[in-house]
Structure 1
Amino acid sequence: MDVLVVGGGPAGRALASACATAGLATSLVDPHPDRPWRATYGAWLDELPEGAPVAVVTGRSRVWAVREHRIARGYAVLDNERLRALPEAVRVVRGTVVARTATAVRLADGRVLRARRVVDASGTRESGGAAQHAVGVVVPRDGFLDGDEAVVMDWRRPPDAGTPDPSFLYVVPVSADEVLVEETSLARRPGLPLAELRLRLHSRLAALGVAVPEREERVRIPLDGVPRPGAFGAAGGLVHPATGYSVATALRLAPVVARALADGRPVESVLWSRRARVVHGLRMFGLEALLRMRPDEVPEFFDHFFQLPENQQRKYLGDPADLGGTVQAMAGLFRAAPWGLRARLAFPLQRAKGVRTPG
């Protein structure tokens, strides 16, 4: 075969689909190819490629930091069934990879699969570093959203909390009648315990008189993992270190990576240009700044961020190779911040210089 993709998550399936569309003989290894996806994947609507499998779309978004910010930017929740779908040309292999090289993998049952190129899309695993954690439930929509919107961040303190760590409420529609409400720790080293997030979420729901459903969604996203050579998706470093987003970027880049593979070029030629490496370092700088802020400074930081012009917000949150836009947004935020917050933003500079990326 031409390409063997390891990992059947959104990034792996997007790449396998793109490779098959590009005419490459493609296989995908997934230990649980029939297991339903329980995660809810969301993204800014303008960051998704044309034809992305969108289930629910909002026309605007809202943020509560120190004050309320209404953002004329749509948000989307993806359709998991369509996100999982693969062309018939993709061969799906059920198995667990225990060893891999650039051209072969060995499965736990002893089988060996070979290809011209093996691409690791198996995600990242927590190792005690910085991580984003969240606990969420799906509840009736009434009382959570004001019309056609998503609440991307609500930093107002929950009624009950066992630690001073900051967290925010994230609310997105998942159908006409229901919303996902999720208590999220944006960044902490190590990740904030799920039990603490559960306590906060349940206290918010209790204050609103909303019963807690049995089914719970749990999120654990490593933020500072080292990208693996020849990898794609989270394994390849596509997680935004300061936000945790990666799926929209993977969907946009999958066809570009597929074309590179068809041309015999490595994955790194697409993901890790010189500009992309510098942008990643600057985003790691942003992560370290967040990790060093006092709990009361985090809402203040986002209050200033969401007062930036919306094009600057997009540039920092979006294209992983937009060096000019990233610098412009970070400089604008630094100028807008008061002196105390500026000191926090400048402090992690030395650590950010040591960020490693492929190439």
Structure 2
Amino acid sequence: MTAATPAPPVADVVIAGAGPAGRALARACAALDLRVLLVDPRPHRPWTHTYGAWAHELPDDLPADVAAARGRGVAIGERTHELDDTYVVLDTAALQVHLTDPTVAVRRGRVVAAVPAAPGRNPAVMLDDGTSPSGRVVVDATGARQALAHRGAARGLEGVRPRAEQTAFGVVVPREVAARVSGDRLLFMDWRADHGHEGWPTFLYAVPLDTERVLLEETSLARRPGLPMPELRARLRARLLAAGLTEAEIPDDPADVEKVRFPVDSPRHRSPAGVVAVGAADPLVHPASGFSLATSLRMAPRLATVLADALRGGADPAAAAKAARRVVRSPAAATVHALRRRGLETLLAMPPADVPAFFDRFFALPDVHRRAYLDARDDVTASLAAMTSLFGGLTPRLRLHLIRGTLLGARSVRTEQ
């Protein structure tokens, strides 16, 4: 009896997830004439999150209209730091249009698992309707859900303790109203506890969305588990009232409110054969800052080129995905990420009262070191130099906390709010 010939793949690359990371890679692959299928439960839903990045992190080919506003950032701990770098706030709708390629095939569906590649079989994505579209390579861009990872990916402490999360609650107000809070400055971080609440520290993030509107957001950089929205909302409201705003000037309409919650310590993606993860699914999220967008945008063309070369060179799905994974997570990038994860544990282990002083030292670092820690994802030497410089400038008390956090991690911190 002759074995049935497997059905041909529906695309060269099947991408699960139509967020920025998935769209960016789909667009880059299509530009190289690869057949792409993008799968998402709501592929055409408008993006609503506010995205920002330092200008030097963004790709050179980003259209000018995608930058909604820009300015020199200000950080405030126990003192004020005028940062040399330009911070760019993106026009989310324009970014979505830019990354949407009309030649990319789109299918509505929720991905529930991956079908691994095997001899004579291409990898596929299993949808909740029971169908399984296949590709020569499959990409997981489903974010922290990691829908295509092997189940049981979270092991050890990550499997039993709460995730470390970045959470934020923000409101959008007219620029002249925001100026009474921010001094008409782009506040990257303002750690002053003007909200009057005790406990884990949060900071004000105040950035222009355009020439007329400003986002004022109370942000918890990382906490395990993340600070709840009601607490962040209460802190922001208290902060704004203390700055002189009236109740009527603080929006509560959902259209003018932004809520943010995402993990910053997701486990490494355990990818089945023929599958590669990108964006927050990998995860590419910076454990300390929560940034991932600029990295995903810059990486997409390079990753697409590697996939195209591998597939046109006759590589089987497992080999093509493996080549792509070396781009996403090289040994150097894995080492830097591990160092940053220790930095996250240090932050989580730090007594709340010491956090503003710690960031004072961070923002006092030379530009080369500050940029390396935030952006040099695969430069081990630069990352170590930045951490060494930071350590050298800390007070003895903060050095002790850093050492304890590195050795003991967040286990030395109570997780109660």
Taking structure 2 as the reference length, what is the TM-score of the superposition?
Answer: 0.81
- Residue of structure 2 equivalent to 1:101: 115
CA distance in 2, matches of 1:351, 1:19: 43
Contact kept in structure 1, 2:200 and 2:352, CA below 8 Å: yes
Partner of 1:60: 72
Deviation by residue 1:252-301 (Cα, 9 ceiling, x = unmatched)? 10111111111223331102111111101110010000000011111000
The answer to whether the Cα contact below 8 Å between 2:303 and 2:327 also exists between their aligned partners in 1 is yes
For 1:273 and 1:7, the matched residues in 2 are separated by 23
Give the structure with higher Rg (CA): 2
Q: Which residue of 2 aligns with 1:199?
A: 234
RMSD: 1.6
Structure 1 counterpart of 2:163: 129
Q: What residue number does 2:283 align with?
A: 237
Matched to 2:296, the amino acid is A
Code of the aligned partner of 2:24? A
Of 381, 396, 408, which residue of structure 2 is paired with 1:324?
Answer: 381
SS of equivalent residue, structure 1 residue 8? coil
Q: Does 1:185 align with 2:220?
A: yes
Q: How does 1:243-254 map to 2 (within 5 A)?
A: 243-254=289-300
The match for 1:156 is 192
In the other structure, the counterpart of 1:356 is none
Q: Please identify, of 263-272 and 190-199, the stretch whose mean Cα deviation from structure 2 is larger.
A: 263-272
Which secondary structure does the structure 2 equivalent of 1:32 belong to? coil
CA deviation digits over 1:207-237, x for unaligned, max 9? 2215221121111120111121320000011
Match of 1:349?
A: 406
Deviation at 1:99, TM superposition (A): 1.8
The answer on whether the counterparts of 2:69 and 2:211 sit within 8 Å (CA) in structure 1 is no
Q: Supply the AA of the counterpart residue of 2:163.
A: G
Matched, 1:271 2:283: no
What is the DSSP-based 3-state SS (H/G/I as helix, E as strand, rest coil) of the residue aligned with 1:348? helix
- Structure 2 CA distance for aligned equivalents of residues 348 and 200 of structure 1: 27
**CA drift at 1:125:** 4.2
SS in structure 1 of the partner of residue 383 of structure 2: helix
**What's the counterpart of residue 50 of structure 1?**
60
Q: Does residue 10 in structure 1 map to residue 28 in structure 2?
A: no
CA positional deviation for 1:145 = 4.4
Equivalent positions of 1:302-341 (< 5 A) are: 302-341=359-398
**Runs of 5+ in structure 2 lacking a partner?**
1-10, 117-122, 147-160, 311-319, 410-417
User: Structure 1: where are the runs of 5+ without partners?
Assistant: 353-359
Tell me the secondary structure at the aligned position of residue 299 of structure 2.
helix
The partner residue of 1:261 within 298, 307, 310 is: 307
8 Å CA contact 2:343, 2:406 repeated in 1: no
Q: CA deviation at 1:251?
A: 0.4
Counting aligned pairs with the same residue, the percent is 47
Cα pair 1:241 1:287 within 8 Å, conserved:
yes
Q: CA 1:340/1:100 → structure 2, altered by over 3 Å: closer, same or farther?
A: same
1:81 Cα deviation from its structure 2 partner: 2.1
Q: Which amino acid aligns with 2:84?
A: A
Q: What is the aligned counterpart of 2:88 among 73, 76, 79?
A: 76
What is the CA–CA distance in structure 2 between the aligned matches of 1:82 and 1:226, rounded to whole Å?
32
The structural deviation recorded for 1:52 is 2.3
Which structure dedicates a bigger proportion of its chain to helix?
A: 2
For 2:102 and 2:293, locate their aligned partners in 1 and report how far apart those are by CA, in whole Å: 23
8 Å Cα contact 1:158-1:201 kept in structure 2: no
Q: For the Cα contact (< 8 Å) 2:49–2:258, is it kept in 1?
A: yes
User: Which amino acid in structure 1 is aligned with residue 190 of structure 2?
Assistant: D
SS, match of residue 300 in structure 1: helix
Select 1:111's aligned residue among 123, 131, 134. Answer: 131
Q: Is the 8 A contact 1:160 1:199 kept in 2?
A: no
Secondary structure of the 1:260 match is: helix
SS at match of 1:119: strand
